[in-house]
Amino acid sequence: MDQFIIVGCDLHDRTMRLKIAVGRGEPVSRTWSNTPSSRKALIVDLHRRAGEAGGARIVMAYEASGSGFVVCDELVAAGIECHVLAPTRMEKSPKHCRGKTDDRDALDVLGRLRGHLLAGNELPSVWVPDLQTRDDRELVRVRQEAADKKTRIKTQIRWLLKRQGQEQAPAEAWTIDYYRWLNALSQGGLRFGAASALASLVRQLQSVEQEIDQLDKAVGQLSEQPRYRAAMEALRKLKGVGVLTGMVYLTEMGDPRRFVNRYQVGSFLGLTPSSNESGQAEDRKGHITRQGSGRVRKVLCQAIWNRVREGGPDHGKYQRLVARNPKHKKIAIVALMRELAVIMWHRAAEAVAA
């Protein structure tokens, strides 16, 4: 049996709490700063331990977080095997959650990694995208976040107007005339405090809208790159799927050929129902798992509503599903989202393979 240096890591923005064990041996605890120089020193230390253990294979794991995959990249470049684990698939008891510490989290990761290496247990690893895909994601995600900012500012404006008794606008919301009305209110139609706040919110909204225009151009340019052009042409033929929806789907999914069937697509996007089965109780299906990318689910939901409201191909399907039970409108939308996701996967995979 191969000898292993097994490392469980609880990764934070500034620190890394490690549990290091040689095979089935008792783990030792170490804390390192999460900086480039400290990570280099950690790699040197792990290689030293491997040498002392007769050239043992080094394997490390940590839970995915907002810090991305920099640690994984550096470890792999240094010849160290690294696994990034999905927090949503790390089942933890209520007792563990109440007594959560860095040591316990690192020990939990170590135990799962040790079970995988020594006993063949399944490891809840996430897919690590390549550097190009990660770079493309940065642009597309910022575009989505800008849209969220726009929505939040609009909501703030509506509530401010409601508090000031200005609910009846003389023009349709967010048209040129509507903006003129807002500017008039901010220049004397309200008391000083409310007028100043409204003026600030309008400036923020206009700034975000200008930024969205710039980001849309950049996303459009990205969609024309050779690595996306064929897939985007195939996806744009689907009603309700625009440039942003297509690019969110492609950058979050990665190479569509890595999926074998539609079940894997639905599972990756968290669009499969959860299951509750125990003993002799029948298998009960619950809400969707919501694992995977919420960004893709959001654009899929928007696309489906467009297809339903505009009398598109999904309008009849939606009506039939709702007719069975009018209370299950959300279930109907989720079913159509899953179907559209699979269709987009087929289209993208065929375009890439061609």
Same domain (yes/no): 235, 170: no
Query: How far apart are alpha carbons 231 and 352 in whole angstroms?
Result: 6
Are the C-beta atoms of 181 and 198 separated by less than 8 Å?
Answer: no
Are the C-beta atoms of 307 and 314 separated by less than 8 Å?
Answer: yes
User: Does the pTM of the predicted model rise above 0.75?
Assistant: yes
175 in any annotated domain: yes
Length of the chain: 354
Domains: count for the chain: 3
126 in any annotated domain: no
Same domain (yes/no): 251, 299: yes
pLDDT in tens, 15-36: 999 999 999 999 999 999 999 9
Letter string b/e over residues 116-151, b meaning 16 or more CB atoms within 10 A of that residue's CB: bbeeeeeebbbebbeeebeebbeebeebbebeebbe
Same domain (yes/no): 148, 214: yes
Same domain (yes/no): 10, 115: yes
125 in any annotated domain: no
Same domain (yes/no): 255, 143: no
Query: How far apart are alpha carbons 205 and 192 in whole angstroms?
Result: 20
Same domain (yes/no): 79, 95: yes
80 in any annotated domain: yes
Q: What is the pLDDT of residue 275?
A: 65
Same domain (yes/no): 179, 203: yes
Same domain (yes/no): 88, 147: no
Domain boundary among 119, 150, 172: 119
Are the C-beta atoms of 195 and 185 separated by less than 8 Å?
Answer: yes
Same domain (yes/no): 297, 341: yes
Q: What is the pLDDT of residue 310?
A: 81
Element (H, E) at 109: helix 102-119
Same domain (yes/no): 213, 320: no
Same domain (yes/no): 48, 144: no
CATH value at residue 37: 3.30.420.40
176 in any annotated domain: yes
Q: What is the pLDDT of residue 1?
A: 44
281 in any annotated domain: no
Q: What is the phi-psi region of residue 174: left when phi exceeds 0, alpha when psi lies from -120 to 50, beta otherwise?
A: left
Are the C-beta atoms of 265 and 342 separated by less than 8 Å?
Answer: yes
107 in any annotated domain: yes
Enumerate the β-bridge partners of residue 284. Answer: 276
pLDDT in tens, 115-131: 999 999 999 999 999 99
Domain boundary among 59, 85, 119: 119
Give mean pLDDT in consecutive 10-residue pieces for the chain, a chain of 354 residues. 87 95 94 96 96 94 92 97 90 70 94 94 93 96 97 97 92 94 92 96 97 98 96 94 97 94 92 68 65 90 91 82 86 93 96 88
127 in any annotated domain: no
Same domain (yes/no): 181, 194: yes
Are the C-beta atoms of 80 and 40 separated by less than 8 Å?
Answer: no
Domain boundaries, position 140: 132-222
